[in-house]
Structure 1
Amino acid sequence: MDKLRSVKPNILFHLFVNIVVVIFITGASYYHTPLDGFKDNAIYLLHLILLQTTVAGLIYFLSLSKWVFRIVFSALFLSYCCFSFWSYSQDVSVTSGLIQAVLESKSDIVIDVITLPYVLFFMAAVVMLSFVLRFHSKIKPRKEFLIFSILALLCVSLYFFIENKRPGTLKNRLPYNVYFGLKDYFKKPDLILNTSISKVERIKDSIKVVFVLGETVRADHLSLNGYERETTPLLEKEGNVISFTKLHTDHTYTGKSVPQILTDQNLGDTIQPLTSVFSVANKANIKTTWIGNQTLEDSFGPITETNSSVILVDKFKSEFSFNKELDEVMLQPLDSVLKTSTPQLITLHMIGSHWWYENRYSDLFRKFTPVIDSKYVPSQSKEQMINSYDNTILYLDYFLSEVIQKLKAEDVPTAMVYVSDHGELLGEDGRWLHAQGGDVLKNPAYIFWFSDSFRAKYSTEVDTLSAIKNEPITTDDVYFRLLHILGIETK
C-alpha cells in the first residue's frame, strides 16, 4: 500500500499528460470520423485508446529526464498542435505535401493562415503545457523505474504489432503521420525515369485529349457494360462512347497501378528506368497538364512532375479526409487549360470511388438508398455499401459527361480516355475495399469517347477500338493507346 501511495503522483501525472495529448493532438485524427450508434463509437474509442497507449510509452521515456522532458516534449507538443489545429478545423491530412507547404511556403503566405482561432488554440496549448511541466517538476520520474519501463516498452511495441497486422492503422494518424510525412518529404524516390527520350514524330496536327485517371471503379458496376442498375445514364445517351468490359490489371492499389499505367512499364515488369507518357508527349511538342484531386504519392509523384504544368486542387486533404472536395472542382481549371493551346494532353486525376463513399458525391446523386452511415464497415449492411458505391458511379457518369460537353465545344478533334487504377471488393467472400486479392479488383473500368470531328478524320482508329471492346486486354494498353490517339509515333 505504501509503495502504491509513493508512485501515485507518477500515475496521476501520466494520466493527466496523456489526456492533454488526446485533447490537443491525437483526438484530432478522429474528430471528423463518421460514426453511427454506440457500437461504432465504442470501436473507434478503443482505436483512439490503442493509439494513445503507444504514445504513452514514448511520453514515459521522455519524462525520465527533467530537462529532456521540458525541451523535447514541449517542442514536440507545440509542433504537433500546429498540425492538429488544421486536422480539427478543416480535416487536413498530414502528408508529405503538407510538410512541403509548411517548410517551403513564403512568409507572407504563412502569416495569412495565422487566424484568431489558430492563435487561441495555440495559446490554450501553451497554457496546458505549463500545467504539464509544473506537474512534472513535482514528481520523481525514476520511481519504480523497472516496472514502468517494462510497461512503457510494451506500450511502444503495441504500435509495431498493430501496424504489422493492419498497415496504416496508426501511422496515418497524429502524431505518427507527421513523422512519416517528413520521412516521405526527404526520401529520395525509388522510381527512376528515363530523361533521354528518343526521337518521336507527331502525325496529328491539332488535337486535344483529356485523360481521366479514375479511382476504385470496377467495370461490372457500369450499366454501360450491362450492370442491371442504371449507373451510367448520361454516357449511354452519348454517341461515340466505347467501353471495354475485360480490362485486366494485376495491381489492386494506387501505388502500384498508377505508375504502370502512366509509363511503358509492363504488368509484372520491374525493370527501370521507365518512360513517362508525358515525357514522350512533351518531346512531340504537345502541352501536358496534370490536374489532380489526389495528393501525390512517392510512387507516381515524379511521373506527374514530367507534365508541363501541375495543378493540385484541395491538395492538403488526402483520401483519408472525410471533408474532401468533390471531383467537379477540377472542371474549372480544365476550362482554363483547354483555352490555352493545341495540341494538348490534359490529365484529370480523380478521388473517384475511394472509400469513404459518402464523401465522393453530392446529395443530388443519392439515388440508391439506404446508404452507409458509419466508417466502421462491419456495422454496415451489404445493401448500404453497394448503394453508396453505386451512387459514386452515378457521380462519375455526371463528371465524365461534363468533360465530354467541354470537349464538344472545341473546334479541333478531341477525345477522352478514362481508366480506373483498379476495382473494389463489395462483399465478395466477405471482403470489402481494395489492396487485396479478388478478380473484380483486377477488372477496372476503361472508357473512350471521341468527338464527331475525330471520328470523321480518324475513323479507322475508332472502328478498331469498337471491334475489340469485349476482348481481354491489360492496362499495358493505356500508355500506348494514349500516344496513338495523340498521333505520336515512337520506337
Structure 2
Amino acid sequence: MSQQSPATPARWRFTISRNSLTLAVALWMLLTMNGTFWRVVWDGVGGWSNDNKWFLASLPLFVLCWLFGLLSLLSWGRATKAILGLLLVVSAAASYFMYSYGIVIDSSMLENIAQTDPAEATELLSWRMAGWFLLFAGLPILLISRVRLLQRGWKRELRGKLGGIALALLCIGAIAATSYQSYSSLVRNHREIRLMLVPSNVVAAAHSYLKHQFAAPLKLEVVGADAYRLLPGGKPKVMVVVVGETARAANFSLNGYARETNPELAARGVINFEQASSCGTATAVSVPCMFQNVGRDGYKDSMANSREGLFDVLQRAGVGVLWRDNNSGCKGACVREPYEDVSHIEVDAMCDPGECHDEVLLNGLQAYLDSLNHDAVIVLHMKGSHGPAYYKRYPAAFEKFTPVCKSNQLDRCQQAEIVNAYDNTLLYTDHVLAKTIDLLQHNSQRLDTGMLYLSDHGESLGENGIYLHGLPYAMAPSEQTHIPMLMWMSSGLEKRQGIAASCLEAKGKQPVSQDNLFHSVLGLMDVHTEAYHADLDLFRSCRPPTDGKYAKHLLQQEQTKY
C-alpha cells in the first residue's frame, strides 16, 4: 500500500470525477451568482401565479444542465481545475456588478471595461467587493484545491466528457419539448435574460469582443475626400465642442428640473436643445459615433478605428483641430489629430491627488487662442459626472446639495444622497461651461467664436434598481439616452453666419441627436463636401441659402490667381 506524502496531507482531500466537479461548480453558480437572473425570470413567468407548475419546477434543472454543458465545453483535461477557478472569479465579478449596479454583460460592456483607465477602475473597488469575491469565488476555489480528480485514460475521459455533455443536451431538449410554449414565450418577451445568466453571458460577450479585436485590420475608409471651403475672410472662426461625460438631461434645470443646476448658463443666453438623444449608452460607443456621419443606425464599433470622421474632413478642408482630454481618451475619434492629455498636469488650484477637475481643460487655452490665425475646432472632453464616485468630480465649493453619497457602493446610499452628489457634478459642469463661454466672449474682438456642448450619454441613479450606464440601447431607460445639449455663439459669429436667433430657439424644442453633430460643425465652418447632409445640420435652415457649386466656382477662381 502506498503511503501519503507529507507534502500533501490527506486531511480535507477527496476524490471525484471531472464531471462531478463540473456539476458541483455549475450548481454553485446556479445558487449563488444568478440572483439578478432569477429575479427577472421569476417576474417574467408570473411567479407562483403561473399555472404550469412543471414549467416552474423545470427551470432550475434546465439552467443547471445549460451551465454544466457550458462548463464542460470550456474545461478539459489537467486544466479543468484551473479553468473552473478562473470562471468562478470572472463569474463573481460579473454577478457583483450586476447585483450592485443593475447592469448587464455584453460585448459593449466588456469594451467599456477594457477602455477604463486605472483611476476609474480603482473607484469601483470596495471592501464589500472583496468580501463578495472571497465568499463566492474564494471559498469554492479553496474547496477545488482540495479535490483530487480521478485519473483515467484519455479515451475513457473523453467518453465521460462527451457523455456528460450529451446527457445535458438531452435534458435540455426534453424539458424544452414538454414546455416549449412557456420557454419560447419567456425568451421572446425577455430577451435581456441572455445577458444576465452567469457565466454564459460573460463567455458570449468575451467571444464577441475578442472576435472584433482580432479581426483582420480594415483598410481606412476615407470620408469627405472632396472637402473644400472658400478661402476664409475676416476674423478667424473658432468653434469649441465640449463633450460631456454621463450628464443626463433630466437633471438640467435648463430642461425644467426643479433644482437650479444651471444658474450660470441660464445667464449666458444659450440655446438649449431640450430633446437631444445619444448615439449609445457608453463612452466607447457614443464618442466615436457622434463624430461620424453615419448616424446611430449606421454606426458599427469597427468604424472607430477604420473610418475617417469629422476631424479628418475638417483638416482636409484647411480647418485646424485640437482635442484636449480630461477623461480616458477619445476612443478612436482623434487618432490622426493633435491631442493633449490634461488630466495629470498637476495644477494645484484645479487638481486633487489622482485627478484634475474639468477647469483644467481651460488651462493654457488662452495661449492657444492667441496663436490662432486660422479657423479651428477645439474639443474639450470632460470628466463630467463620471460615476460611481460622483463626489470626486467637483471641488468642495460646489457641494451645494447635501448630504451626498461618498461611497462607490451606490446601493448602500440613500437615493437622495446619490442625486445630491450627482447634481453637484452638474452644477460644476455648468460653471466650467460658463467659464468657457466667458473665455470665448473675451476673445470675440479678434475671433468669431462659438461653443456647442453635448454629453456622451446619460446615467441611471437607482431608478428601478439600475445604476450607472451601459445598458443595451434597446433596453436602456431614457435616463441613459436623453442627454443635455446646448449652443452659444458670439454676436460676430451669429452675424457672420446669418443665423436667426428666433429660428434657433424654435429648434431647441425639436428632437435632435448626436447624429447632427458632424453636419452642424461642417456647416458652421463652411466646409463643402458630399459627406455633408444639410437636413442634419441644426443651423442650416436658420441661415440664408447658399449655392455650394457657386462657392466651389469662386474657390477655383481664387486658386487660378496663384
Q: Could you tell me the TM-score, scaled by structure 2's length?
A: 0.56
- Is the 1:358–1:388 contact (alpha carbons within 8 Å) kept by the matching residues of 2? yes
Identical counterparts, % of pairs? 27
Please tell me whether residue 45 in structure 1 is matched to residue 122 in structure 2: no
User: Which structure 1 segments of 5+ residues have no match?
Assistant: 12-27, 61-142, 149-159, 172-179
Q: Which has the larger radius of gyration?
A: 2
| Aligned residue identity for 1:312 | D
Shift of 1:322: 9.4
The residue that corresponds to 1:336 in the other structure is 367
Larger CA deviation: 446-455 vs 269-278: 269-278
Contact 1:32 1:322 survives alignment (8 Å): no
Partner of 2:357: 326
Query: 1:229 maps to which residue?
Result: 259
Does the 8 Å CA contact 2:4/2:10 hold for their aligned counterparts? Answer: no
Contact 1:264–1:274 (8 Å) recurs in 2: no
Residue in structure 2 matched with residue 464 of structure 1 by the alignment: 503
Deviations 1:395-434 (A, max 9, x none): 1001111111111121211000111111111232221211
1:285 correspondence with 2:285:
no
For residue 295 of structure 1, the aligned residue among 328, 342, 363 is 328
Give the match for residue 415 of structure 2: 382
- In structure 1, distance between residues paired with 2:258 and 2:240: 29
DSSP 3-state at the match of 2:452: strand
Tell me the distance in 2 between the aligned counterparts of 1:57 and 1:190. 47
| Contact 2:497/2:524 (8 A) holds in 1 | no
Is 1:425–1:431's contact at 8 Å kept on the other side of the alignment? yes
Q: CA deviation at 1:462?
A: 4.1
SS in 2 for 1:288: strand
Residue 390 of structure 2 aligns with which residue?
Answer: 357
Q: Can you give the 5+ residue segments of structure 2 that lack an aligned partner in the other structure?
A: 13-117, 152-195, 347-351, 531-562
Rounded Cα–Cα distance in structure 2 between residues aligned with 1:434 and 1:349: 18
Aligned equivalents of 2:135 and 2:212: distance in 1? 27
Q: Deviations over 1:411-470 (max 9, x none)?
A: 211000111111111232221211111122111111101112222333425443222101
How far, CA to CA, are the matches of 2:232 and 2:493 in structure 1? Answer: 11
Find the counterpart in structure 1 of residue 379 from structure 2.
347
Tell me the C-alpha RMSD between the 2 structures: 4.3
- Flag the 1:287–1:250 CA change in 2: closer, same or farther, 3 A: closer
Quickly say closer, same or farther: Cα 1:225–1:481, change in 2 above 3 A: same
Distance in 2 (alpha carbons) for counterparts of 1:286 and 1:440 = 35
Change (3 A) 1:443 1:196: closer
Q: Residue 199 of structure 1 corresponds to which residue in structure 2?
A: 227
Q: Aligned partners of 1:347, 1:146: CA distance in 2, in Å? A: 59
Secondary structure, aligned partner of 2:321:
strand
Deviation at residue 285 of structure 1 after TM alignment: 1.1
Aligned to 1:7: 8
**Does the C-alpha gap of structure 1 residues 267 and 196 become closer, same or farther in structure 2, counting only changes over 3 Å?**
closer
**Whole-angstrom CA distance in 1 between matches of 2:199 and 2:219:** 25
Change (3 A) 1:189 1:312: farther
- Paired with 2:327 and 2:132, the residues of 1 have a C-alpha distance of 30
Quote the Cα distance in structure 2 between the aligned partners of 1:263 and 1:486.
16
Q: CA–CA distance in 1 between the matches of 2:136 and 2:441?
A: 54
Tell me if 1:215 matches 2:270: no
- For residues 120 and 485 of structure 2, the distance between their equivalents in structure 1, rounded to whole angstroms, comes to 36
Please state how far the C-alpha of 1:346 moved relative to its aligned partner. 0.6
Distance 2:257 2:147 in 1: 65
Instruction: Give the direction of change, closer, same or farther, for the CA distance of 1:323–1:243 in structure 2 (3 Å limit).
Output: same
Superposition pairs of residues 425-440 of structure 1, within 5 angstroms: 425-436=460-471, 437-440=476-479
- SS in structure 1 opposite 2:367? helix
Cα distance in 2 for partners of 1:460, 1:329 equals 32
Correspondences of 1:48-197 after superposition (within 5 Å): 146=149, 192-194=220-222, 197=225
In the TM superposition, residue 474 of structure 1 has moved relative to its aligned partner by 2.2
Change in CA separation of 1:467 and 1:33 when aligned onto 2, cut-off 3 Å: closer
Offset of residue 48 of structure 1:
6.1
CA distance in 2, matches of 1:359, 1:189: 39
Aligned to 1:304: 334
User: How far apart are residue 246 of structure 1 and its match?
Assistant: 0.3
Give the secondary structure class of the aligned counterpart of 1:460.
Answer: coil
Is residue 282 of structure 2 the alignment partner of residue 253 of structure 1?
A: yes
